[in-house]
Structure 1
Amino acid sequence: MFTTYKEALDWIHARLRLGIKPGLARMEWMMERLGSPENSIKAIHVGGTNGKGSTVTYLRSMLQAEGYHVGTFTSPYIEQFNERISVNGTPISDEDILELVNVIRPLADELEATQLGGPTEFEVITAMSFYYFAQKHPVDIVLYEVGLGGRFDSTNIVKPIASIITNIGLDHTSILGETHEEIAFEKAGIIKEGIPIFTGVRHPGALKVIKEQAEQKLAPISVLHEDFAIVNHQSAARGERFSLDTKEGFIPDLEISMIGKHQTENAALAVTALLNLAQTGWIEIGEKSIRDGLAAAYWPGRFEILSEKPLVILDGAHNDEGITALAAELEERFAPKDIHLVFAALKDKKLDKMIATLDQAASTISFVSFDFPRAAAAEDLVKISTSTHKLAVDDWKAYLPEEIKRLKENELLVITGSLYFISEVKPYLQELLKNDKIPL
């Protein structure tokens, strides 16, 4: 029995040593012991390569605007571990984490002694969330973000009222497959019998796989650019404007505060899914709630402007598609400013294409490492780069404040890469900025 939040958190993080173990058997075992809490939750399940967290945020914000109490399960965290399990955007308390760990730990110990082996960190947190939303703090609806893949992800024991698959790219190829089609098959594992599926997948081969799986499971499918469409898109100073054409009707002049054309696609998926659920009687949602919710939606670490003068941007672009979207947005919004990039990554990622894209986008590029078991060494990253203005940095905490001080009016600093890195950087820089330790 743990008595402090720190003890509980240390126990959770220690389970990172077990790595990633795809499969549902351990989750099913724990859920049976807990009385099958996953069966009493009304949920929307969100998978895909990029855009999952943003899509969950749009869904939550619109449902909240309508008056619903909304639970979310997301990963990884950006500012605080507790945000992985939240209600109406507010992370659960340290006391709740402690209580949940004391519920799950005996099961984990018992499971360790079986042939299934002990649950991973992610499985433990997922089990905590199901117990919390079903038995400790019931809510009207829960939004579950897939952790990795879909078919064997620990969240895939949920029985949702709708499933969403955002865009698909080549990420986690060592686990999910080397091609878009193979990865799409894993992502399509969240499609359930007869449950509507909404997708923003663009790759033709991947979309073909999604459609085939939906047809096999008699799941009604709605595809972006085929069954619903974004029209009249315009970039704004701090966000995007667009109209949405769906089977349920036309909604003009929607506004979002998250930056990037790809964010209009995530928002369109969220709106279309809610309109369908309203039409089929699962929820109620009015146009005002859609507008207000989209406008208010905020997700940290996604093209987030941390400081205006000097201009400092955080973006958790951690795969080819994310880096490509970041580079395109920087070109559209900030050319011909000089762009200084700081990049950190996990060593199990395919990095060549990402770094090549960043080399082209940046005037200078600095590579850093950070304190995480799977973090790539800065020296290894700089070897991949072909930039003539590149640097390997040993201590990012000492480097970033000095780099920000050096920025001139026609320059900006973009800190990007692994979301685990962004989660360390953001609170550190916010604290320095708040205490005026970086003069602006």
Structure 2
Amino acid sequence: MTPKKNDRQGDPADEQGGEFVAGARRVHDELLARIGEQAPQPRLEPTRRAVELLGDPQRAYPVIHLTGTNGKTSTSRMIESILRAHGLRTGLMTSPHLVHLNERIVVDGEPISDERLVANWDDIQPYLTMVDTDLEASGEPALTFFEALTVLAFACFADAPADVVVLEVGMGGEWDSTNVADGQVAVFTPIALDHQNRLGSTVAEIARTKAGIVKPTAAVVSASQTPEALVELERAVELSEGSLAVEGTAFGVQSTTVAVGGQVVTIRGLAGRYDDLLLPQFGDHQAQNAAVAVAAVESFLGGGSQPLDHEVLAEGLASATSPGRLQIVANEPTILVDAAHNPHGARALAKALDDYFQFGGVVAVLSVLADKDAAGIVRALAPTVTQFVVTSSQSDRAIDADELAAIAVGVVGADRVVVETDLVAALRTARDLADEVEGDEPGGVVVTGSITLVGDVIALSQQPEGLS
């Protein structure tokens, strides 16, 4: 099978210079030559065969495994930060990356260095080749981008070595390549409609696929779910003979107050109450992510029966970052980026903009990928956003700007939609529109609709001239 060209996903870190940048680019290019993430293979055996040849590095450390539709990366990063505050050497795998591939494999709070990325890739390459050869001989596609990346991450964490790994699925759960690992704790963020062409057309079907990460006797921690999703999780827990703790009954957010740079939250955990914790992220959904993270760490460190040390927890949450999630990248006017790429995420974004910011008007710079519910995203943002500047990210899968504009016009009308195919021009137009907002409060800009668009804008903001 000819591999499908991988979607553009940024470059290795350039700032380190020298041979390892060249080597990291080689790793990046060799991964991109494989079947891309937009075409995952619903299988586990090839990944399992590769890790078996490597001596099962995914068994060298305990695993906290996360799935869900929205909030996975933020929750994963919070869990990792809390564990690190407890003195554990952590591994963290998230996806996709925003700018650099190294972001996906984090060791002790830092993206893996180009040097270690290249060394581990070269170590596993002969084993990947063996699996590729066997697959192609049997008429199956070679290891995909994400399958090979997962094997690489497991090897990097064993090499570190990590005391514990926080592992975010790529898509779904049951047949996601990360599922060759056995999570002692399985974590579910809110489950909603997304990737219906791969995971199922209903929330129940999607939840059933995601519930595949639940392993025997695992502790399962879940955000609040719709009834149809919760039924699937309960069924999986019953079959696994594990335990289930759900937000709203077993734990939850007691209160949240807007603060400079984020919010102050009080969380009722599984084993204790934690007052006045600084959370440097905006939005009630991030407070809920924090509650899930706390319950997951309680489950991992003390079986859900021992409270966490308040000072250590406070340090861990205060240090947690969530790039690309209501992240401020410029001022005057304020420009935020948010990776909301489905209606559920867009509704959370709109609520956070209303609750946590005082803008006289909000201008959205919008690009959406072709397999997403663009009309649903616009509809969710419409009550909060005054103007939409429609553009296109560098992704091959981005909806054509004119086509996306027609969708937006169908939802909000032509007077609220502007088309700028060039991203830099779109940002300039959005800033001008925000500056024209009249009233006591200034206008703001939010860049959203796809992770690739957010990554493009973050990359622009990191250039010497920034977004000026």
TM-score (normalizing by structure 2): 0.88
The residue number in structure 2 matching 1:122 is 146
* 8 Å CA contact 1:200, 1:269 repeated in 2: yes
1:379 Cα deviation after fit: 1.6
Match of 2:109 in 1: 89
Residue of structure 1 in register with 2:189 after alignment = 166
Q: Distance in 2 between matches of 1:402 and 1:102?
A: 46
Q: CA deviation at 1:336?
A: 5.8
Deviation digits for residues 399-419 of structure 1, max 9, x if unmatched? Answer: 324543564262111101211
User: For the Cα contact (< 8 Å) 1:168–1:201, is it kept in 2?
Assistant: no
Q: What residue number does 1:429 align with?
A: 461
In the alignment, the residues of structure 2 paired with residue 267 and residue 293 of structure 1 have an alpha-carbon distance, to the nearest angstrom, of: 11
Please state whether the residue corresponding to 1:222 is helix, strand or coil.
Answer: strand
Q: Which of these residues, 120, 132, 151, is aligned with residue 100 of structure 1? A: 120
Taking a change above 3 Å as real, the CA distance of residues 17 and 145 of structure 1, as seen in their structure-2 partners, is: closer
> Are 2:335 and 1:316 aligned?
no
Distance in structure 1 (CA, Å) of the matches to 2:280 and 2:382: 28
Q: 1:105 to 1:374 in 2, by over 3 A?
A: farther
- Is the 8 Å Cα contact of residues 248 and 276 (structure 1) preserved in structure 2? no
- In the alignment, the residues of structure 2 paired with residue 226 and residue 436 of structure 1 have an alpha-carbon distance, to the nearest angstrom, of 45
In the TM superposition, residue 211 of structure 1 has moved relative to its aligned partner by 1.1
Q: Contact between 1:359 and 1:385, CA under 8 Å: does it hold in 2? A: no
Do 1:79 and 1:426's aligned partners in 2 also have CA atoms closer than 8 Å? yes
Q: Does 1:34 align with 2:61?
A: no
Out of 241, 249, 263, the residue aligned to residue 226 of structure 1 is 249
CA distance in 1, matches of 2:466, 2:124: 43
What SS class does the counterpart of residue 82 from structure 1 fall into?
helix
Is 1:62 paired with 2:92? no
> Offset of 1:391 from its aligned partner?
2.1
Equivalent position SS for 1:263 = helix
With over 3 angstroms needed to count, the CA separation of the structure-2 counterparts of 1:89 and 1:246, relative to structure 1, is closer
Aligned counterpart, 2:395: 372
1:171 is paired with a residue whose SS is coil
Counterpart residue identity of residue 141, structure 2: G
Q: Which runs of 5+ in 2 are unaligned?
A: 1-19, 436-440
Encode CA deviations 1:351-378: one digit per residue, 9 max, x unaligned.
Answer: 2211222233221101111222322211
Cα–Cα, structure 1 residues 295 and 383, in superposed 2: closer, same or farther, change >3 Å?
same
> Equivalent residue for 1:418?
450
The CA RMSD measured in Å over matched residues stands at 2.2
Asked if residue 215 in structure 1 is aligned to residue 238 in structure 2, the reply is yes
Q: Helix, strand or coil for the counterpart of 2:33?
A: helix
Amino acid at match of 1:435: E
Match of 1:374, SS?
coil
Deviates more, 1:399-408 or 1:175-184: 399-408
Q: Is the 8 A contact 2:271 2:306 kept in 1?
A: no
Paired residue secondary structure (1:360): coil
Matched residue SS, 2:102: helix
Equivalent residues of 1:66, 1:285 under 8 A apart? no
Paired position in structure 1 for 2:424: 397
Q: Distance in 2 between matches of 1:334 and 1:370?
A: 26
1:305 corresponds, among 328, 337, 345, to 328
Q: Within the alignment, does 1:6 sit opposite 2:25 as a pair?
A: yes
How far apart, in 2, do the equivalents of 1:284 and 1:129 lie? 31
How much does 1:254 deviate?
1.9
TM-aligned CA deviation for residue 223 of structure 1 = 0.5
**Match runs of 1:285-300 below 5 Å:** 285-300=308-323
Say whether residues 1:152 and 2:179 are aligned partners: no
Distance of 2:221 and 2:319 partners within structure 1:
23
Letter in 2 for 1:127: V
Given that residues 277 and 283 in structure 1 are in contact (C-alpha distance below 8 angstroms), is that contact kept between their aligned partners in structure 2?
no
Mapped partners of 2:191, 2:304: distance in 1: 30
Which one is further off, 332-341 or 160-169? 332-341
- Cα shift at 1:436: 6.4
TM-score if structure 1 supplies the norm length? Answer: 0.93
Q: CA deviation at 1:227?
A: 0.9
Assess if the C-alpha contact under 8 Å between 1:303 and 1:313 holds in 2. yes
Larger mean CA deviation between 405-414 and 258-267 belongs to 405-414
Q: Which moved more, 1:147-156 or 1:327-336?
A: 327-336
Q: Contact between 2:272 and 2:308, CA under 8 Å: does it hold in 1?
A: no
Provide the C-alpha distance between the structure 1 equivalents of 2:295 and 2:357, rounded to a whole number of angstroms: 32
Q: Alpha-carbon deviation of 1:310? A: 1.5
| Partner secondary structure for residue 230 of structure 1 | strand
Q: How far off is 1:384 after superposition?
A: 0.8
Residues 202-281 of structure 1: matches in 2 within 5 Å? 202-280=225-303
Shift of 1:6: 1.6
- Following superposition, the deviation at residue 166 of structure 1 comes to 0.7
Cα distance change, pair 374–435 in 1 and its aligned pair in 2 (3 A): closer
1:7 shift after superposition: 1.9
CA distance in 1: counterparts of 2:306 and 2:111, whole angstroms: 24
- Between the two proteins, the alignment pairs up a number of residues equal to 434
CA contact 2:330–2:467 (8 Å) conserved in 1? no
**More moved, 340-349 vs 351-360:** 351-360
Contact 2:224/2:248 (<8 A) preserved: no
Aligned to 1:163, the other structure's residue is in SS state strand
Shift of 1:326: 0.7
Question: Hey, what's the Cα distance between the residues in 2 that align with 1:347 and 1:64?
Answer: 38
